[in-house]
Every structure is written in C-alpha cells, then in structure tokens.
A and B are shown apart, each in its own frame.
Chain A
C-alpha cells in the first residue's frame, strides 16, 4: 500500500530544502470525493496532497504547461519540478523527454505504483449513481463512503478501462518511488476492448464511427488535455497559427489549411484521424482524451488500434526509454513491409 504520509513528507522535504520549484500532485476537489490536480510550492502545502483511486488525471500535462509558461514568460528555471507519476504518467513523461521537450534533469519524478489498484472511471460511477465522500481500494473491491454508510463495488464494475487492461502500473522511470513493483491485476488482456469492437464487420464499424464523428463538436478538449498535443500551431486548427515576431508575411499568407474549422462529419473525421496518426508511437494510453470528451466519443479505440499495430508490427512500446528511437522516425531491417526493404 502507498503510505500517503511518505508522499507528503517527500514533497515537504524537497520544497523545504529548495530542491524543487514545486510539486505537481493531487488534492481533494471541492466536489468532495474526486481528486484534482494541484501544484504546491510551499512545504506547508504538502498536507494538501492526497492519493486515492480518483487520482486519474495524467499530470505530465502540467509539465508541458510549465514549459510553455517558462517559455512565454522567458523565465529561467534553475530547479527541477517534481511530479507525482503513476506508471502510465511516467511513460508519457518519458515520451516528452524522448522528444526533447525537456531534459531528464528538469523533472523530478516521484513515482507512485498503483500496485494493481487502478483508478476509477467517473462515468461508470455516475451510471451507478454513487455519491460518495471518499473512495478506497481494499484489495478486491472499491469501498465508497456514502451518507448511507459503506458501499462495496467489485473493481471490474467501476475501474477505468485502461486499468482493466493495464500492463505496466509501476513507473519504471523515477527518482524515487512509492509502493511496490507489482504487476497489474490485469483483469483483461491488453486490447480486449479493441478486439471486441473489431468483431463487428467493416460496415458496422464504419457506421459506428460515422455516427461518433457526426457528434463531435470540435471543442478540442481532447487536444487540450493531451500531454502529447504540445505543438504551438496545431495542423488541424489554422486559427491558432502563432503570429510571433519572426512570422513572415509569406508564412502568414502561405499557411496550409488541411482541415476546415467547421464541425462537419468529414472534417471531424479528418481531425481525429490526423490526431491519431500524430499520436502513433507517442500515445501511452492514459485515455485522458476520452475522459474529457463532452460527447463521449470512444477515442481510446482509435489510439489503441495504433498502439497495437506498432507493437505487433514493430515490437514498439511507447514510453519505454528516453534514448530509444521513436516509432515514426526509425527504421528496422526486419520491417514486415517488404516494399520498404
């Protein structure tokens, strides 16, 4: 079990000794039961930190935000920033470092092993009508504290899909780590949900996605929450074209508009397809995009599909090593595509 006091002490000590600028972690939200992200910068704030099954956010997003803030304010950061990272969050931090977004010395990873607990899925809770003030995991079931008393629910019923299929709940890349290196409980084999979906025939799948993309309102929440979507100018959104001092008139005139802004089905589909391709070999299945989608588009199926292709075709695991080659930029002599060899 993770000792919360250890986590708080670690954060407090590092801030007190001025070893880090701040600690990105979780605190209790005003909602009551759920956690929310927080950045603490003073030792006395350390007691705000929490750890429970509602800590589902991928905090590596805030490492990106931190970099952007530093760049924007032209501030210099001498100290690293610390992050509480689950197995999955640590992997996305690795991808960011693999892409040189920041260096290893810029970040202090306080790894937290889920130890197979997994995190909750908000939507599954809502569906079950659970209104609790606290949640915990007792080894088999999730235990919720409600006004009526304790309520136990089997893990499978409320656990996030990605945790059901989790294959690495221990943060391999870390400075210190809390909890043990236990393999995930892995209630389901990896890609189970995808496999189930692929049993549908192509026509049914086409109809399914047709319907899903029809509903997308292009709020770009998926892009905003994704730690990998850190580009200043997104290829799908020409209105965000950054006009800086260096932008030439020619560049402004010649910007390419591959995708229109209008939220029509075809444009939405192009947007999501482009995003999926740009995440190939980079997405580590934190599934934040699907969590924040206001119209519940099952984006995980798309990202999982790319992940499985990369794994089966090239044995590629995103977020495995900082120095390793990236999927789309590297080439293998054993490439299964004969045409390329």
Chain B
C-alpha cells in the first residue's frame, strides 16, 4: 500500500446517521487504519463550521487525501471536493463513504450498522490511498439550444432562452406549434381564453430572430454530451411551400379526401390538404401524405391545379439536418389516457361520452359547434351533463396509480362553462376528493358549486350504458350512502394524463431515464426538478409529470434559466474520472466500443482509444473487457480489489 496522509471525517448528520451508527466508534476505528493521520466526527460536516474543521485539519495535519463518511456522493461529493480544493488539495483525492443511505437508513441494529460503517469508511480510505490527482477537462461550449416540443412549455422555454441571446432550434412533431393548450377553450381559474393568451407567444416564436422553428420534424439521433450535442433532425415534407402559401383555402375546397380532424379530436373533419387551425404557426397548409390519394397528378392533383401561387410541390422530400447544440430542453408533453382502456365506462364505444379535450373543443368558439354546447350524436342542447373525475387516475390496480393533478380544476371549469352556455342545464360532478391547491383555485371551485350550482357527488361511477337516447350513469353518493342513477344527455370523462406517445422513444434517443409511470425522470425530486439525469438535458412541462399551465410555464422558465446559466460559461469542465486504456493489454476486440453508451471509444491502430470529452466514466467498458485493458481513473481494478479486501477484513 502506498504511503499517504489521509484524514477521515465522520458526519452525524444530526440524528440521521448518529441514531443508527456509533459515529465516535467509527472515527476511533479509522484513526487506527494505515495511512490515516487524522480522524474526527462532527454533527453536521456539510455546515460551515464542519467544512472549516475539515479545512483546518487538512492544513494542520498536512493531509494529502480526505475521506468524508457522510451521505450519498450524489448529494455532497461536490461540496466536499470543492472544500478540499480550497484547502489546496486536488479535489479528486477527496472520497465519500456513504454511511447514510447505504448504512444508517437501511439498518436498525446499531452494532451491526456501526461495523458496516467502519467497513465502508475503511474501503474509502483504501480507495483514497490510490487516488491520483486529476485535473478537470475543459470542454468548449456550443451556444445553441435544442427545444423538443412546441407546446406551451417548449414555446416558453424557447422564448426565454432566445431572449437571453442564445440561438434556439424549436422542433415540433406536428405541422404547427401550440400543443394541447391551443385546443383548450378557457383556462382556470381566471377563465381567460386559451388561444388569446397563447397565439401572441406563437407569433413571437415565428418572428424571433434567434429561434429557428422546425415543425413537422422529429429528433432522430443525439450524440455527444453537455456543451456539445450533435442532433440529427428529420423534417417531413409538408408538400406546401410556407413562403408562397397565402392560406386562401382554395386547395382544401377541391380536395376530395375527408378524414377526422385531430385538432378537434375527431369531432369535425378535415381534408387531406389542410391547415390545422386558423392561428397555425407556420401559417401554411400541410398535405397529409397518409390521407392524400397519392401525391400524384395522375391520381388526383386537384389541389395543385387550384393553387394560384404554385405553393404545392408533390416532389418535396424529407429533409435531415444535423445540428450542434450545447443543451437540450425536452418538453414533449402529455396525451390523455385512452378511453379504450376504460371498459367499465364504455371503452370509448358509447355515443355522447366525451373526454375532457373533446369537451373543450365543444365549448371553444373555434371548435366543432362554433362555441355552442351541443351533444355530438344529435346536435341538441344537453340538459343533464355528468362530469366524472379521476377516470384512470388514482387506480393502481387497473390504471394509473398517480393523481393527474389538473382534473379537479378543469372539471370545475367544464361545469362552469357548461352552466354559462346552458343556464337551465344541470351539471353533475362525481369526485373522490377535490384537490384545489393553488392560487385562487379553491375559491374557483367553491364558486362553481355555489354560484353556478354544479351538483357535486362524492363517489365513483360504476357503469355507463346507452338507454332511450340517453346515457344511463350508475354511481354512488358515498356521503348519503345512496345509489345514484342519472339519465344524462352527455358524459364528460376527466381522463388521466399520461406521457405523450413517443416519450419512450425520445427518452431512448436522448439516453435519459423515465420514472415508473413513464414520465421523464428528473435528476432529484426536490433539488434538481428540471434537470434530467443526463447533464445538459433539461425537462419542462407535462413530459416530466402532470401539471397545469402556470406550473408548466414556471418549469419551462426554470429550465431556460438553467440552460442560460450553463451556456453563459466560456468552457465547461468535464470530470477527469474517465476511462484509460492499457495498450499493452488491449487486443482490439471492440467489445468496449459497442458497450460504451456514449460512443466515446473508437479503435485506432487496433487499440481502443477513449475520447475523454465524451466519456462519462460509467465503467461499462471496464466491466465488459475480459482483459482488464480498460479502467476508469480513480476506480481502477486495484482500487476495487483493495476496497473489497477492506470490506472483507
């Protein structure tokens, strides 16, 4: 073993560690270890006096390496490494022994936990014994940002970043930006018109000199790492030149193909050549190639003939561009949980049973009925409307375990909108609880109950079926203990929110994690709510979890602030704990090349070569190599062996 002067500092973490681990005993045991010249304990090592004690000890005892026995390195490795650096040490000679998450919190028996804490600390001392002094690698930064998703989250993030002077590429899967917010009629709790507040922002995006808008596009491939991502974006052909298109509607008037309109969730129809809605950005028609008879003048070609300005071009090809960006914001949004999953509520097969977004389109002035609430089956004014909350949400046995968070509020809004449209109608709301936390939210719900006289029934609906031209709703009112039967003209289901289709694919493309429900995972639920687990990739909006518009906008701005902060530095520093190849042992079998999740290894002259900027030090290569020819700096085979020995001793 090499001769070192190591200091061990054991943290009580208040009672978090000290309640289960005899910290004094750990500190005492460490003082007898080889190489250890100082061993102390303190109640909060991360506090200012705690850090100062470490600093003082480094100076007094001329330490060349430090072990802090405390919480997970995820939390305070950086804190203590920065502190070691302040004392003049190389920050990579500071090691963390995790005796909180991996010991104190998971054990009850104090004697056993203490023994384990000693072993964990001892192994960290051994590791520190062979730590090399390493210098961070400086990486240049590309001052350009990719925002994925053109809903309110993506729009807000793009505008904030662009306003700070950074270039932004905004990629949207559909032919227009706007997202689900543009489908909404009014927004709670102020009931201001959704389109009126969103459209100006959309126009800002299209006119902003720092924003390059790519609609009808998808991100295909992402390589590189924080500061320098290479992204490949594929743009589908719209077959209409937006520069020439005058939005005159002559083409749609002659198009013979009629398909359901997605923007109105199938409540209306559109032509194969269409503009998603009047305020679409970019303001241009799009030819849906799946619906079109064949993009061929021989087959049809009516739209091309009708277009005076010659904006339609059947020969347009998909375009793939490769861009360099420094950071990525993912705002891919949500979809409603499909009605088809709700068998007990008709599974989408019963007429006049709508989902929340369809009801929004019924209420919207630009919607299917031009703002008149009419039931879809016979276009009569519904007099009894039943709203059902928590459809698919809060049902771990059959559907989604989580609360979709916004349904209480938007159901109240729906009831209110309905009553404003049909003052003599009756609105029934089935609920489990009313969750109305938020500024002005509770008052809003109370107003709907009291002033708009919506009838709130606490209970669930067991069955829906069609009877005598109405929808028979069977439910219970648990407050009176009575069964309830309502013959409704229309039923609106507040379906759960789920991650948008394609979230899994984008997560895979970006190499970021998802949580158990499929939403994109944040790096830390409290301290890093807008960061993904991969550095340089940030999250905004419902892709990360259900949230309402104000919260989405806040998160988008927060993500933008993080991006601006990140890219305001001239260079980024990259951890030097990267893989290193022992050329004498490498046979060039290429297994590490395929195993590397970051494409950081290539084969040069028959030997593996590590691109240190791309390497994240994950160790996949080292685990794959049967020849021990590649190892991660400061986690070498020898260090691992000595750590194991220290634990077994």
A binding-site residues for B, Cβ under 8 Å = 99-101, 230-233, 235, 242, 244, 246-247, 251, 254-258, 278, 325-326, 328-330, 333
Cβ of A251: which chain B residues have Cβ within 8 Å of it? 582, 584
Are A329 and B595 CB-contacts (below 8 A) given A100-B603, A251-B582? yes
B463 contacts the other chain (CB 8 A): no
A-B contact pairs, 16 of them (CB 8 A): A99-B589, A100-B589, A100-B606, A101-B589, A235-B627, A254-B638, A256-B638, A258-B641, A278-B626, A328-B624, A329-B590, A329-B591, A329-B592, A329-B593, A329-B624, A333-B508
A99's contact among B584, B587, B637, by CB below 8 Å, is which?
B587
B636's contact among A100, A101, A232, A254, by CB below 8 Å, is which?
A254
Instruction: Give residues 588-638 of B contacting A (CB, 8 Å).
Output: 588-595, 603, 606, 624, 626-628, 636-638
Residue of A nearest to B628 (CB): A235
Residue of B nearest to A235 (CB): B628
Could you tell me the distance in whole angstroms from the C-beta of A226 to the nearest C-beta in chain B? 12
Cβ of B584: which chain A residues have Cβ within 8 Å of it? 232, 242, 244, 246-247, 251
Residue of A nearest to B508 (CB): A333
Cβ of A255: which chain B residues have Cβ within 8 Å of it? 638
Q: With A and B bound together, what is the CA distance between A256 and B594 in angstroms?
A: 25
B343 contacts the other chain (CB 8 A): no
Could you tell me the distance in whole angstroms from the C-beta of A222 to the nearest C-beta in chain B? 15
Are A328 and B595 CB-contacts (below 8 A) given A100-B603, A258-B641? yes
Could you tell me the distance in whole angstroms from the C-beta of B28 to the nearest C-beta in chain A? 31
Max chain A CB contacts within 10 Å: which of B582, B584, B591, B626? B626
Knowing that A232-B587, A244-B584, A328-B591 touch, tell me 9 more A-B residue pairs with CB under 8 angstroms: A99-B590, A100-B587, A101-B589, A231-B627, A235-B626, A246-B584, A254-B638, A278-B626, A329-B594
Residue of A nearest to B641 (CB): A256
Cβ of B591: which chain A residues have Cβ within 8 Å of it? 99, 326, 328-329
Q: With A and B bound together, what is the CA distance between A248 and B636 in angstroms?
A: 16
Are A100 and B637 CB-contacts (below 8 A) given A256-B628, A329-B624? no
Q: With A and B bound together, what is the CA distance between A203 and B595 in angstroms?
A: 36
Are the C-beta atoms of A231 and B638 separated by less than 8 Å? no
Cβ of A278: which chain B residues have Cβ within 8 Å of it? 626
Could you tell me the distance in whole angstroms from the C-beta of A334 to the nearest C-beta in chain B? 13
Cβ of B636: which chain A residues have Cβ within 8 Å of it? 254
Could you tell me the distance in whole angstroms from the C-beta of B448 to the nearest C-beta in chain A? 43
B569 contacts the other chain (CB 8 A): no
Max chain B CB contacts within 10 Å: which of A100, A328, A329? A329
B583 contacts the other chain (CB 8 A): yes
Cβ of A330: which chain B residues have Cβ within 8 Å of it? 594-595
Residue of B nearest to A96 (CB): B589
B59 contacts the other chain (CB 8 A): no
Q: Which 10 pairs from chain A and chain B are nearest by CB?
A: A99-B589, A329-B595, A329-B594, A329-B591, A278-B626, A256-B637, A231-B627, A254-B638, A100-B588, A246-B584
Are the C-beta atoms of A232 and B585 separated by less than 8 Å? yes
A246's contact among B583, B627, B641, by CB below 8 Å, is which?
B583
Could you tell me the distance in whole angstroms from the C-beta of A63 to the nearest C-beta in chain B? 14
Could you tell me the distance in whole angstroms from the C-beta of B489 to the nearest C-beta in chain A? 46
**B interface bracket (residues with beta carbon within 8 Å of A):** 20 to 34
Q: With A and B bound together, what is the CA distance between A232 and B638 in angstroms?
A: 19
Are the C-beta atoms of B587 and A230 separated by less than 8 Å? yes
Cβ of B641: which chain A residues have Cβ within 8 Å of it? 256-258
Q: With A and B bound together, what is the CA distance between A257 and B584 in angstroms?
A: 18
Q: With A and B bound together, what is the CA distance between A66 and B594 in angstroms?
A: 27
Q: With A and B bound together, what is the CA distance between A318 and B38 in angstroms?
A: 54
Mark each residue of chain B from 572 to 592: 1 if its CB lies under 8 Å from any CB of chain A, else 0.
Answer: 000000000011110111111
Q: With A and B bound together, what is the CA distance between A258 and B624 in angstroms?
A: 16
B585's contact among A101, A233, A254, A326, by CB below 8 Å, is which?
A233
Residue of A nearest to B589 (CB): A99
Residue of A nearest to B593 (CB): A329
Could you tell me the distance in whole angstroms from the C-beta of A60 to the nearest C-beta in chain B? 15
Cβ of A101: which chain B residues have Cβ within 8 Å of it? 587, 589
Could you tell me the distance in whole angstroms from the C-beta of A282 to the nearest C-beta in chain B? 9
Could you tell me the distance in whole angstroms from the C-beta of B94 to the nearest C-beta in chain A? 21
Q: With A and B bound together, what is the CA distance between A325 and B582 in angstroms?
A: 23
Q: With A and B bound together, what is the CA distance between A329 and B587 in angstroms?
A: 15
Mark each residue of chain B from 382 to 415: 1 if its CB lies under 8 Å from any CB of chain A, else 0.
Answer: 0000000000000000000000000000000000
Are A325 and B626 CB-contacts (below 8 A) given A100-B589, A101-B587, A246-B584? no
Could you tell me the distance in whole angstroms from the C-beta of A274 to the nearest C-beta in chain B? 9
Are A233 and B589 CB-contacts (below 8 A) given A256-B641, A326-B594? no
B626's contact among A231, A232, A246, A257, by CB below 8 Å, is which?
A231
Cβ of B606: which chain A residues have Cβ within 8 Å of it? 100
Cβ of A328: which chain B residues have Cβ within 8 Å of it? 591, 595, 624
Cβ of A99: which chain B residues have Cβ within 8 Å of it? 587, 589-591
Q: With A and B bound together, what is the CA distance between A230 and B586 in angstroms?
A: 11
Residue of B nearest to A278 (CB): B626
Are A231 and B587 CB-contacts (below 8 A) given A100-B603, A256-B641, A258-B641? yes
Q: With A and B bound together, what is the CA distance between A325 and B638 in angstroms?
A: 29
Residue of B nearest to A330 (CB): B594
Cβ of B626: which chain A residues have Cβ within 8 Å of it? 231, 235, 278
Residue of B nearest to A333 (CB): B508
Q: With A and B bound together, what is the CA distance between A99 and B603 in angstroms?
A: 12
Are the C-beta atoms of B585 and A325 separated by less than 8 Å? no
Cβ of B595: which chain A residues have Cβ within 8 Å of it? 328-330
Could you tell me the distance in whole angstroms from the C-beta of A277 to the nearest C-beta in chain B? 8
Cβ of B593: which chain A residues have Cβ within 8 Å of it? 329
Q: With A and B bound together, what is the CA distance between A251 and B595 in angstroms?
A: 25
Max chain A CB contacts within 10 Å: which of B588, B592, B595? B595
Cβ of B585: which chain A residues have Cβ within 8 Å of it? 231-233
Q: With A and B bound together, what is the CA distance between A232 and B582 in angstroms?
A: 13
B627's contact among A100, A233, A333, by CB below 8 Å, is which?
A233
Could you tell me the distance in whole angstroms from the C-beta of B618 to the nearest C-beta in chain A? 13
Q: With A and B bound together, what is the CA distance between A233 and B583 in angstroms?
A: 12
Could you tell me the distance in whole angstroms from the C-beta of B600 to the nearest C-beta in chain A? 14
Could you tell me the distance in whole angstroms from the C-beta of B521 to the nearest C-beta in chain A? 13
Q: With A and B bound together, what is the CA distance between A258 and B130 in angstroms?
A: 17
